Amino acid sequence: MMSPMRNALRLENVGRRYGLRGSWVLRDIDLTLAPGELVRVEGTNGTGKSTLLRLLARIDAPTIGHITGRPRTAYVPERFPSALPFTPSGYLTHLGTVHGLTRTAAARAADEWLDRFGAAAHARTPMTRLSKGSSQKVAVAQALLAEPELLVLDEAWTGLDTGARAELERAVAERTAAGGAVVFVDHDPRRLAGVPDATYRVHDGTLERRTEQATTPTGPHVVVEAQGPPGGQLPSVTVMSAEETAPGTYRLSVPASHSDVLLRELLTARPPWHVRGVTRTDAPADHPPAQEDPR
Amino acid sequence: MTALLRYQAALLVRSQRWLPPFILYAVFLGVGVQGGQPVLDSLGYTAAALLPVAAWLVRVCVTGEPAAAGHCVAAATGPGRAHLGRLLVALGASAVLGAVATVIVTCLSDPSSSDHQTRVPPLPAGAAGLLAVLACALLGTAVGALTSWPLLRSTGRAVPALLLAALLALVVSGSPARAAVSGLVTGSRSGTVEPPLLPLAGAALLAAAAIATACALTSRR
């Protein structure tokens, strides 16, 4: 299940309009999504962000242009309906099998993800009786449970409580670390700040790559002090800064969403790293200028 | 595909939106079929009444899944396959409904020709009835697929179109449903059973074409 995308998803000269005489929602879109890439899409309301995401998820076909590549895709819609005649557990088991899991694996993954998002208590409540927030947790779990190669999130954080929002950021970090691509739209500019490999802006139906990278990402950070084995490689996780404090000992700073991924990678490396300390800081001001870890 | 069909079937069964078309069919049969009537006449009626019901079941399956939930499934399987799942579950439901009705009607009817003079063996009659029912289920599914999303999206246009198309499918000469039903009814006059194989093949072809068209358009509109 952890296989990286068989092939990257590519949009070439893609345009989309609705109806035969409708105006163009998007045109001349060129975009490549490589395995493991995290992409943020911005734009004011009604500019075609959702249309772009539906094209990427291959739910919509382009009116002109080509899309190539078929990664296993999961999609979280902007507004998830609660009018489904299932319990969250039942619905997620169905969706898990639709995504290709066996029934047992799907049922297990369903419980696991509901638990991770703090909705285990509602696993057997009819979905029509769920609150908007719990319903959104089901929407997010639906997309994550089959470990997709491409995850498309259309305002997936909206409606989630604080704990679930952080959990979703961690899930995104896990997905990209496992070689999956993630594309997201979110109205909060601090969402996964500094982490995306690329940020695009939808404007007047076209896509512009934003070059002014947020070089000073705000938001909570986790600083990990770790001692590598002789000749050990620095992990490939997006590290904000890496500073060698003593020979073989590093001070690694990552966005809080990526701390688990970093620690997992350090501890499961062969030979493993030794973690000397983990601290959480809210302002990463005392760090040297951010540098993206080359992949 | 199995998982998709299971999901769509669960959605249909648990939503209870299958109930109105089922009740309509029961009413149709209650009005038109009485015990002791000639078996082939009753089976012809059973098949004909299924066509609009099958079309309605397609509408139930297509509109029953909220759009956003449909998008989640479409991302996983592709929108065409997701729609195919809906249509096949609707077809399956109407085929099962028609088959059960055929068995009941065959048991209740008089195994004889229209003038009650010639004996009509119930087993071949029931088998011919099953084929006719299947032909009508297929054609009804075709009507439903062509008169709902993604081809017609506004309910105001889709429902009249569905009713009109279902009516036409029953009366227009050359329609496989009409051929299947009239084959049973004319067979009843002479007391001979002719399995409507050709109408069934025609209905299957039309249904396949309609389903393919609807599925191909899912990502285009």
Q: Rounded mean pLDDT of B105-131?
A: 94
Best mutation target, B2, B17, B72, to test chain A (most A CBs within 10 A): B72
Q: How far apart are CA B133 and CA B193, in angstroms?
A: 15
Q: Where are the domains of chain B?
A: 2-217
Q: What is the pLDDT of residues A102-141, one digit of tens each?
A: 999 999 999 999 999 999 999 999 999 999 999 999 999 9
Mean pLDDT of B104-114: 94
- How far apart, in Å, are the Cα atoms of A121 and each of A87, A89, A105, B90? 12, 11, 20, 34
| Residue B114: strand, helix, or coil | coil
Nearest Cα residue in chain B from A128: B15
What pLDDT was estimated at residue A214?
Answer: 53
Query: What is the percent of chain A where pLDDT is above 70?
Result: 89
CB-based contact (8 Å) between B154 and chain A? no
Nearest CA among B171, B203, B199 for reference residue B184 = B199
Q: Considering only alpha carbons, which residue of chain B is nearest residue A91?
A: B7
What's the rounded Cα separation, in Å, for the pair A80 and A136? 6
pTM of this prediction?
Answer: 0.89
**Set of chain A residues whose Cβ sits within 8 Å of the Cβ of B66:** 81, 83-84
Contact A100, A88 (CB under 8 A): no
**Distance set, CA A7 to CA A21, A98, A180, A259, B28 (Å):** 34, 21, 11, 28, 54
3-state secondary structure of A47: coil
Q: How close does chain A come to B177, measured CA to CA in Å?
A: 34
Q: b/e string for A134-152 if b means 16 or more Cβ within 10 A?
A: bbbbbbbbbbbbbbbbbbb
Q: Which tokens is A64 given? A: 């002109």
Contact A81 B69 (CB under 8 A): yes
- For residue A238, what pLDDT is reported? 65
State how far the Cα of A155 lies from the Cα of A54, in Å rounded to an integer.
Answer: 13
Q: How many contacts does A have with B, using Cβ atoms within 8 A?
A: 80
Q: Mark out the alpha helices in A145-256 (DSSP H runs).
A: 162-177
Closest chain B C-alpha to A74 CA, distance in angstroms: 6
Instruction: Using DSSP, state whether A12 is helix, strand or coil.
Output: strand
* Share above pLDDT 90 across residues of chain A, in percent, rounded to a whole number: 57
Residue appearing with tokens 């079929």 = B33
For residue A137, what are its two tokens? 């947790």
Could you say which of A75, A81, A86 has the minimum Cβ distance to residue B75?
A: A75
From the list A76, A84, A98, the residue facing B76 with the nearest CB is A98
* Helix extents (H) in chain A: 49-56, 88-98, 103-116, 132-144, 162-177, 259-268
Query: Mean per-residue pLDDT for A167-192?
Result: 93
Contacting residues of B for A74, CB less than 8 Å apart: 72, 75-76
Which of B1, B11, B63, B71 best probes binding to A when mutated, by most A CB atoms within 10 angstroms? B71
For B139-173, the pLDDT digits (tens) are 999 999 999 999 998 899 999 999 999 999 999 99
B68: chain A residues, CB-CB within 8 Å = 77-81
Tokens read off for B172: 């227009």
pLDDT in tens, B66-105: 999 999 999 999 999 999 999 999 999 999 999 999 999 9
**Cβ of B11 and A84 within 8 Å?**
yes
